Structure 1
């Protein structure tokens, strides 16, 4: 798999089809192993099945996705998180090695906010592998429920981390606005996310809209047409903004990214 830093060309328009095929392949193993384990929960509703399906698929594809994006994400996250952190939608924890205590000595606590309980076992294992077993706590609710269900207080978080998760969170614009107050003044929001292509009017914009008709069903609700970078900028007052497009990404990328950090304005 090529890295995200490599320059894209017209053939890159076909990349989403390959990723959709990878996901579709895991429908059959999900059915087979659920029946083999006499686990009928996935068959109670289509939502339950999609959750089980994606958990199994991501156990395979998550590490590949990490390898692909690592050249862009490592400089952003490694040694950047500090204090009390909110890790939003960490999935199976494929990025947790970047928070290893040896490289991030200023981290005192990480809350992994992951509503998909099918991911929790592997997430916990990856936290332990990263040497974070004593500071990493899984919060099994959505980001929109942090106050009501998890009891988080406003202004209590030093670092918010969102890595390829805001594309699949329900009502993302509202949640981004809701998360902003949890940051302390001077706190950082580290972000690596799918975003709507900036090449509106070009072929890629129409292709992105077409792909997105089916994409969310195969990738746990992921919507690749969200202007997440714009929503982040509008969430509140920022003292410093350092956001850029994915390395090497351009007019042929159907699944472009935004990478960087935002620092909340100090009082």
Structure 2
């Protein structure tokens, strides 16, 4: 899966620093908003604060991230999801308009697996806005608890969707293996994810590791050095695999992607 043609130059290496600055800006508004609302839960632990901070930041940044990546993600998601879907880590639902039944008439049910309760209100609003209010069910647990807390049966899912979420899920390799059995035979996994750069011997390989020392704090646990594409390939028996690098991404991309589909063997 070689990366596609390079479009950005060396200055693109600084982009992660700009994105972390955007995130950091929302620390102070999160503190002020929590105090004014007499909501002191975010101050009980750093993890609670990061969840509140990221939720507030992502409401602003999510739509802009979607717009930036839309040209890559739209062909992947539109007219591709069908039947019963498992939407892993949908955040505030910035991609849901692509699942609108006008574009995906064969969708019958979507389970939105989002453990951050700070995202649920906006996620529900976006589901209704996309005309999915009657088929979209928010499951407020992690992917690792789907069977015990989410009530989702293995072998019942036609389409799994992971868009920029496997980078922040705990124990991702295990969860990817655990999600595979939820797919029906012939079911499809649609993926658009951050991955470890393929240019490990170039400067960007070392730069990505350095950036990743701070990145997870500013992006709610997101790890940009995971070989997610390799873990997906190893998750189970695939009948068809169609994965590629993000459009125009090359050796100056610190936060590269893998995108495409994997089809479970019948």
The bucket for the TM-score relative to the shorter chain is over 0.9
Distance 1:236 1:196 in 2: 21
Structure 1 residue runs of 5 or longer lacking an equivalent are none
Deviation string 1:153-195 (CA, Å, 9 cap, x unpaired) is: 1110000000000000000000000000000000000000000
- The alignment yields a C-alpha RMSD, in angstroms, of 1.1
Distance 2:64 2:151 in 1: 35
Determine helix, strand or coil for the equivalent of 2:147.
coil
Please tell me whether the aligned partners of residues 194 and 258 of structure 2 are also in contact (alpha carbons under 8 angstroms): yes
Distance 1:224 1:23 in 2: 16
Please tell me whether the aligned partners of residues 6 and 250 of structure 2 are also in contact (alpha carbons under 8 angstroms): no
Match of 2:56 in 1: 56
The total of aligned residue pairs comes to 263
Deviation string 1:91-139 (CA, Å, 9 cap, x unpaired) is: 0000000000111110000000000000000000000000000000000
Distance 2:157 2:132 in 1: 18
Match of 2:225 in 1: 225
Distance 1:96 1:6 in 2: 30
State how 1:60-75 maps to structure 2 within 5 Å: 60-75=60-75
Determine helix, strand or coil for the equivalent of 1:149.
helix
- Note if 1:234 corresponds to 2:245: no
Match of 1:14 in 2: 14
Deviation string 1:22-45 (CA, Å, 9 cap, x unpaired) is: 000000000001101111111111
| Shift, 1:6, TM fit | 8.0
Please tell me whether the aligned partners of residues 42 and 48 of structure 2 are also in contact (alpha carbons under 8 angstroms): yes
Determine helix, strand or coil for the equivalent of 2:225.
coil
Distance 2:110 2:140 in 1: 14
Distance 2:102 2:72 in 1: 21
Which 4+ residue blocks in structure 1 deviate beyond 4 angstroms? none
Distance 1:236 1:162 in 2: 16
Please tell me whether the aligned partners of residues 5 and 72 of structure 1 are also in contact (alpha carbons under 8 angstroms): no
Distance 2:180 2:133 in 1: 27
